[in-house]
Amino acid sequence: MALRGLKVLELSGLAPVPFCGMLLADYGASVIRIERTDDRKNAKLDKLARGKRSISIDLKISTGIDILRHLSSTADVLIEPFRPGVMEKLGLGPDVLLKDNKRLIYTRVSGYGQDGTLAKKAGHDINYLSISGLLSMFGRSKEKPYAPINLAADFAGGGLLAAYAIMAALFERQTTNHGQVLDLSLAEGSAYVSSWMWASRDLPMVWFGDKRGENLLDGGVHFYDTYETSDGLYMAVGALEPQFYNQLLIGLGLDPKDGNHNQMNIHEMKEKFEQIFKTKSQKQWTEIFDKLDACCTPVLSWDAAHQHEHNQQRKNFSSTNENKDKLVPTIAPRFSSSKLPSIDRPSPHSGEHTIEILREVGYSKENIEEFIKKNIVQSVERSKSKL
């Protein structure tokens, strides 16, 4: 496995940090999720814990802090999701942990970064997108901006970038033998993944003005939009290039000789496309465009995506023994020689691996029994666990 031997500590949180930890675990890293003894809510909400192990520690008392420091002293990576200053108040800031372990990659994932006016403010994906300038571009013409779920900041600009930064820092560590602190802001991360949008603003063929919903790639043109079908479903049209646009017109029963997509009246063509697409069902349109290279595809629901022939052939989605009724995407991208773990790895219960993790880092049976007795750590089904 590509990351076999990499030791990662993931302090429990939601969305970006668990996603980062999952990415590392999916490529073979050993990821330990650090749960709080007084917080089972996050553990239940975290749906990205497959293949990780869990230890539950009370970080409000000094012995719990010492345990985490001991774990960190032999780790390669630590990922924390808190607002600036929280780890320092616990006595677990980078100055402390990097002194214990100079090779540690200390990864801080926060909404607005470790400094600045907004650093200690609360926020969620929609807030980070609004500050980055990205949210202003999501939405239809003359309508308010809409929240694009929580993909852009939490996952693309958050967890994914964090994993990428960790890999870069680990690569540099091979030369320097030193770790470092990674300051990942979800607001900055979402701006970074939109770099092309910022850099392309001087391209008139892409941006027709400053208004959202009136440009090339935001639904402002008839050949890059979605259209409702007769059965209330939708088709996605992305016929940007002339050769694909000609194929699109053929599929719609229109004459390509009537003009190219840059010469047509966009609003008139949108209305015409809307009328035509409503004459057939999604299935009928899919059968038509499967025979053409028109960049026209069905907008599939989660369940329908799994049933699509291409996704079936590529095995892009799978269920797990843990939840046979729920489909999840398989690991991507695929490696030609590195063996990757199966996605069918159970998510841990909070504290499920407390005893085995403590034993691995050298704590004695007596130490562990005392920690459990004093509620410094928690272990599920402790009576069945072997010390």
Give me the active site residues, please: 124, 154
- Whether the Cβ atoms of residue 156 and residue 189 lie closer than 8 Å to each other: yes
Sort strands 234-238 and 224-228 into parallel, antiparallel or unpaired.
antiparallel
Nearest Cα neighbor of 194 from 226, 238, 163, 148 is 148
- Structure-block tokens of residue 283: 């299935």
Q: How far apart are CA 243 and CA 256, in angstroms?
A: 10
The beta strand positions in the chain, using DSSP E, are 7-11, 30-36, 53-57, 77-80, 105-110, 180-185, 224-228, 234-238, 296-298, 317-318, 328-329, 377-378
Q: How far apart are CA 51 and CA 223, in angstroms?
A: 43
User: Counting Cβ atoms within 10 Å, is residue 152 exposed (0-12), middle (13-18) or buried (19+)?
Assistant: buried
Tokens 């994993």 correspond to what residue? 163
User: Counting Cβ atoms within 10 Å, is residue 193 exposed (0-12), middle (13-18) or buried (19+)?
Assistant: buried
Q: How far apart are CA 242 and CA 245, in angstroms?
A: 5
Kindly report the CA angle at 342 between 338 and 345, in degrees rounded to 5? 140
Question: In one letter, which amino acid is 377?
Answer: V
Helix, strand or coil for residue 238? strand
Residues 6+ apart with CB under 8 A from 261: 221, 222, 223, 239, 242, 245
Give the bridge partners for 8, in sequence order: 31, 77
- Whether the Cβ atoms of residue 318 and residue 327 lie closer than 8 Å to each other: yes
